[in-house]
């Protein structure tokens, strides 16, 4: 899978990478899942550690810490929802409104894990804001802005709107699934405070399935 490591930004505190779709963020238990973004990064930068994750099928920005202090500083920002993230997604069908939000609690669908499901009694709060970028022939290109960071949040929330993300092997069916061999979900921008100085830094990784 090329490139071996797509570096968006690097300094003594942070390593910001553009993860390709199909690559794990961290290693899995099976031998075939040992190759991952973390392992690749640590082969070049031994002190780099993962702060947050992207689903294997999702591409885009992922930040790693180059030391313990940076990990603590940025990790706290994620925990307190101080970071800002935007994703680009292509969903099946045409969204009626130009913008909106989905506020539906999520939990693991244990018999079908790693799938997630909406559960108003046991689920954890999950909020996603969205804006239409372009309505295409069969699909809609949207910008997704997660306020929370639950597993599969964007995928399930779009499904609940009746517009699954195309190429989603967990939640899409029929034409929505066969439309693309890859999941059309990309982490395009990430904004956070730098561990040194506290200034906001905005990182960007162009979307591979959106021709600007």
Query: What are 166-178's pLDDT values in tens digits?
Result: 999 999 999 999 9
| pLDDT the model gives residue 3 | 72
| pLDDT the model gives residue 21 | 97
| pLDDT the model gives residue 32 | 74
| pLDDT the model gives residue 2 | 59
Residue 98: both structure tokens together: 């130009």
Residue 87: both structure tokens together: 């994703």
Q: How far apart are CA 171 and CA 192, in angstroms?
A: 30
Residue numbers of the chain with a pLDDT score lower than 70 = 1-2, 212
> Which positions are catalytic?
55
Residue with tokens 């699954």: 164
| pLDDT the model gives residue 14 | 99
| pLDDT the model gives residue 202 | 98
* 93-to-3, 71, 141 alpha-carbon distances in Å: 33, 40, 10
In the chain, ranges of CATH 3.30.2350.10 domains: 7-84+190-204, 86-185
| pLDDT the model gives residue 31 | 76
Q: Could you say which architecture CATH assigns to the domain 86-185? A: 2-Layer Sandwich (3.30)
Any idea which fold 7-84+190-204 has? Pseudouridine synthase (3.30.2350)
Q: How many CA atoms lie within 13 A of 33 on its CB side?
A: 8
| pLDDT the model gives residue 90 | 99
Residue with tokens 């061999």: 181
| pLDDT the model gives residue 85 | 98
| pLDDT the model gives residue 137 | 96
Q: What is the pLDDT of residues 14-48, one digit of tens each?
A: 999 999 999 999 998 877 778 999 999 999 999 99
Q: Any residues with CB less than 8 A from the CB of 90 and at least 6 apart, and which?
A: 136, 139, 140, 141, 142, 165, 166, 180, 184, 209, 210
- Residues 106, 130: contact at Cβ < 8 Å? no
Residue 128: both structure tokens together: 């996603």
């Amino acid at each position: 899978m090329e490139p071996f490591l797509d570096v968006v930004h690097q300094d003594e505190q942070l390593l910001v990478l553009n993860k390709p779709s199909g690559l794990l963020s961290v290693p899995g238990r099976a031998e075939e899942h040992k190759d991952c973004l973390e392992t690749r990064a640590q082969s070049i930068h031994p002190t780099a550690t993962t702060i947050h994750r992207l689903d294997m099928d999702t591409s885009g920005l992922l930040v790693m810490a180059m030391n313990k202090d940076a990990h603590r500083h940025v990790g706290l920002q994620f925990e307190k929802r101080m970071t800002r993230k935007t994703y680009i997604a292509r969903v099946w069908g045409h969204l009626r409104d130009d913008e909106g939000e989905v506020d539906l609690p999520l939990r693991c669908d244990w018999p079908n894990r790693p799938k997630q499901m909406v559960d108003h009694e046991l689920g954890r709060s999950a909020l996603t804001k969205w804006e239409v970028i372009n309505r295409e022939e069969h699909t809609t290109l949207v910008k997704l802005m997660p306020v929370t960071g639950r597993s599969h949040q964007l995928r399930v929330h779009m499904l609940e709107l009746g517009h699954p993300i195309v190429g989603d092997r967990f939640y899409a069916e029929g034409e929505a699934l066969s439309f693309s061999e890859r999941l059309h979900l990309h982490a395009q921008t990430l904004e956070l405070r730098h561990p040194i100085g506290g200034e906001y830094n905005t990182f960007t990784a162009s979307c591979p399935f959106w021709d600007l």
